[in-house]
Amino acid sequence: MFYSLVNKILQSTLRKYVERFFDLNDKPIQTQEKILLDFIVKSKDTKFGRLHHFDSINDYKDYISKVPLHEYSDLKPFIDQMRNGCKNILWPGKVEWYAKSSGTSSGVSKYIPVSKESLEGAHLNGGKIELSLYFNYNPDSKLFEGLGLRLGGSTELESHGKSHSGDLSAILIQNMPMWAEFRSAPSSNTALMSNWEQKIDAILDEVISQNITSFWGVSSWFLVLFNKVIERTGASNLLEVWPNLELFAHGGVNFAPYKAQFKALMPGNQVTFMENYNASEGFFAVQDNPDLDGLLLLTCCGTFYEFIPMEIFQGTNSKTITLNDVALNQEYAVVITTNGGLWRYLLGDTIRFISLKPFRIKVSGRTTNFINAFGEEVIVSNAEEALSQACTLHQCSIKDFHAAPVFMESKKSGGHQWLIEFEKEPKNLTLFSNDLDILLQKLNSDYASKRKGNIILGPPQITKGNKGLFHTWLRNKNKLGGQNKIPRLSNERSLITEFIELNEVLHIDQELQSKD
């Protein structure tokens, strides 16, 4: 009875909140203009604001004339000062929290400022908006009669002077509103454990017998937890363990390659799958209606957006456009200005708009995560969609993958090498490879043109990854858990060479174990 009352009160509060959100997000251009000028006025007396003459900026045209595009390395000297306790550098006052975002291939860590305004106005506000939209979609929800299982990062918070850094999820757990923490599992101590594999067992010890009604986190990492649940309980699916489960809010990686596995684990239509697009830098979009494709761009959530058409992308030398000028189904690099002090920052993600009224997007890849060794311009969304369709055709599923070019030698054509760790292998790998090739050609005309006659680009070469390959690689890099994930594509071979060497070691180890 008590939790039923809690559910009614919280749901009523959040459903009223969504009305204000719709009012703001229904006027995206005006809202964006107001956000930018508000940021400028607030920050004119910061070190960055004085250097870039914020006191003479009156509109977007002034802004782009005085503030250049930035990559992380350009802002790093300012961020280093902030982490050492200096005030009024990129953002007014002192910033205490920094989201540590480690580069998956370079190993270089970024420390993204999470100001009080960013924490409350972007990250926590984005989560509140997502909940509000879910209740708007499902008014009969009993979500808060149970607990939300959160699966976050495995990085303990580090202290640097008077500032703290760690995985974004760890920062959010430390600053969670009381009402949200009250309805979350596992406990903060367990959620913040640094050893990923020990944490999984500890989470199960806490939640296996609790009333879990929702999941929150990166979908690929939840697979690890879910497989452990089935192994420990002997259940055939998750609804036998948690019968009141109704929501899976996920983000961080493309859901398509995992969808079939999750539907098998949560059969029927009881569970709503709801995607979000959040990162260390902000909370950018959410699936406002689970029945519709694409994510609603949050234009009122602590971020001012600019876009660079990928066909003219030249890094920090690029020309940008605003929401006024975007077009459907074109690839754009995302540039953000945030209430955490990121000014005209190249996020590194690419998106495309699938609707302009309202602005709905799909995350398509990374500006540096692609294969274009032969002019084929294959982006992550191409690879994931082709793989997803090939898996459906061949009734198989994958855990993870990486692809890289095989460069042309003498008279030999080039190609793409795919290293795939299958959850369930196709019966015929050659036919699977052929279909993957055909599907990728249908999705990408540049790839198709380079495949003609096998002159420039030969058929894909698929190497099977041994069980646990990518998990082992992440563990060796101390990157298990959180938002760390395998880079799907690379335009050079250093990373795939590293994967293949590890794959050979695992193959030998597994052969020796089978003989024992």
The predicted-structure confidence for 299-357, as pLDDT tens digits, reads as follows: 999 999 999 999 899 999 999 999 999 999 899 999 999 999 999 999 988 999 999 99
Residues 7 and 152 in one domain: yes
In the predicted model, is pLDDT for residue 36 greater than 60?
Answer: yes
DSSP state of 46: S
Same domain? 141 vs 253: yes
HEC string of 86-109 equals: CCCCCCCCCCCEEEEEECCCCCCE
- 143 and 269: one domain? yes
Last residue of a domain, one of 295, 330, 356: 295
Residue 48 lies in a domain: no
| Residue 434 one-letter amino acid | N
pLDDT at residue 420 tops 90: yes
DSSP secondary structure of 258-320: GHHHHHHHS-TTSSEEEEEEEETTEEEEE-S-TTSSSEEE-TTSSEEEEEEEGGG--GGG---
CATH for 221 = 3.40.50
Q: pLDDT of 360-399, one tens digit each?
A: 999 887 777 788 777 787 888 889 999 999 999 999 999 9
Residue 455's nearest CA partner among 417, 413, 416, 406 is 413
For residue 250, the one-letter residue type is: H
How many structural domains are present in the chain? 2
* Of 457, 465, 504, nearest in space to 486 by CA: 465
**Over 90: is that where the pLDDT of 18 sits?**
no
Least reliable range by pLDDT among 332-341, 427-436, 439-448: 439-448
Tens of pLDDT, residues 201-260:
999 999 999 999 999 987 767 877 898 899 999 999 999 999 999 999 998 777 776 788
Domain hosting 185: range is 2-11+117-295
Would 141 be classed as within a structural domain? Answer: yes
Pick from 274, 295, 316: which residue ends a domain?
Answer: 295
Q: What's the confidence (pLDDT) of residue 156?
A: 67
What does pTM read for this prediction?
0.79
Between the two ends of the chain, the Cα-to-Cα distance in Å is 56
Within-domain flag for 331: no
Domain-located, residue 173:
yes
287 and 386 both lie in a single domain: no
User: Does pLDDT of 103 surpass 50?
Assistant: no
**What does the CA dihedral 75, 80, 85, 87 come to, rounded to 10 degrees?**
-20
Residue 150: inside a domain? yes
Minimal CA–CA distance to 110: which of 70, 60, 63? 70
Of 248, 272, 295, the residue at which a domain comes to its end is: 295
Determine the pLDDT at residue 154: 54
Kindly tell me if the per-residue pLDDT of 513 is higher than 80: no
